[in-house]
Amino acid sequence: MISRWLAPFINRFGRFGSAVIVLVVVQTLFLSAIIADRVMILRSPNVVTLLSEPVDPRDLFRGDYVTLGYAITTLSLTEINGDQTWADGETIYVELTPSQNNWRAVAAFHGHEVPALGNKIIRGTISYYDTTRNVARVDYGIERYYVPEGEGRVLEEERNKSALSVDVALGRDGEATIKGIRIDGKPVYEEPVF
């Protein structure tokens, strides 16, 4: 059945050519899907600003980047509302509320709950859960910011002089992506969609 459907295609381009076309289409669609996903989130009106403390390692494949840790990376779950029983590797939905110039966690859930008015939901994965202290370490997928070669150190020095914060765009399901970097509240890096 499939071979009959494919026959004219193979006759026209040959087996190798047909396979190359299929492979190119599949690869292009996959890469486009990654881009489309990021573009959708960057265009989202849901933006929160999170305080950060970066360090500067080097990624062997992808050059310089700044590692970003946030106040919401380590969550003391007894100090916030929501679900209290967790395990390593679980998906966690954290409710954020505005607090002065930044946002802080107020609750954590297993599912995507409707947040209180003015609050937002960010999605993460628990990378380590301390059962005795009920503390979770959470990855949100916004822990790296790639910078031009050699500029990571500069950013780190700037951080030592003043507070560094990150604008984070949130998708409908709480998926996060970095939209920009601020030092002293002023934007120093802004991410265009394209």
Partner 1 sequence: MWQTIYLKRLRQDLEKWVERGWVTPAHAQSILTDASGGAAVRHIPQILAILGAVLVGFAVMSFVAANWAEIPKIIRLLMIFTALWVAWGAAWFADRRGHTAYAEAGVVAGLALFGANIMLIAQIYHVTSSTPEWVFLWCLVALAAAWMLPSRSALASTYLLAILWTAWALDYNEQTDWLFFLPWTLATWLTMRLSWRAGLHLALLTLWVWAGVNAETLQDLIGCNTGELVALFALVALVQWVLGLRLSSTSIRFGSLLENYGMFVAFAAFATFQLEDGYNGAGVLWYALALVALTAVGALAFGEVTARRLSMRDYGGIIVLGLGATLYPLLGHHDGYSLLIYATLFLALSVWLVAYGTARNHRFAINAGLIAFAGECLYLYFQTLGTLLNTAAFFALGGVILIAGSLILPKLRRRLVATANEGDGQ
Chain contacts with partner 1 (rule: CB under 8 A)? 14-17, 19-20, 22-24, 26-28, 30-31, 34-35, 38, 42, 59-64, 139, 141-149, 177-178, 191-194
- Which is nearer to partner 1, 115 or 129 (by Cβ)? 129
Measured from the CB of residue 141, what is the shortest distance to partner 1 in angstroms? 5
Measured from the CB of residue 71, what is the shortest distance to partner 1 in angstroms? 18
- Which is nearer to partner 1, 38 or 113 (by Cβ)? 38
The half-sphere exposure of 83 on its side-chain side, counting CA atoms within 13 A, is: 15
Phi (first) and psi of residue 170, to 5 degrees: -115, 130
**Residue 130 to residues 25, 77, 80: CA-CA distances in angstroms?**
45, 10, 16
- Which is nearer to partner 1, 4 or 62 (by Cβ)? 62
- Which is nearer to partner 1, 10 or 106 (by Cβ)? 10
11 sits in the region (left: phi over 0; alpha: psi -120 to 50; else beta) called: alpha
- Which is nearer to partner 1, 121 or 166 (by Cβ)? 166
Measured from the CB of residue 100, what is the shortest distance to partner 1 in angstroms? 25
Cα–Cα dist 159/162, whole Å: 5
Measured from the CB of residue 41, what is the shortest distance to partner 1 in angstroms? 9
Cα–Cα dist 26/10, whole Å: 17
Cβ–Cβ < 8 Å for 41, 177: yes
Cα–Cα dist 176/140, whole Å: 7
Measured from the CB of residue 80, what is the shortest distance to partner 1 in angstroms? 24
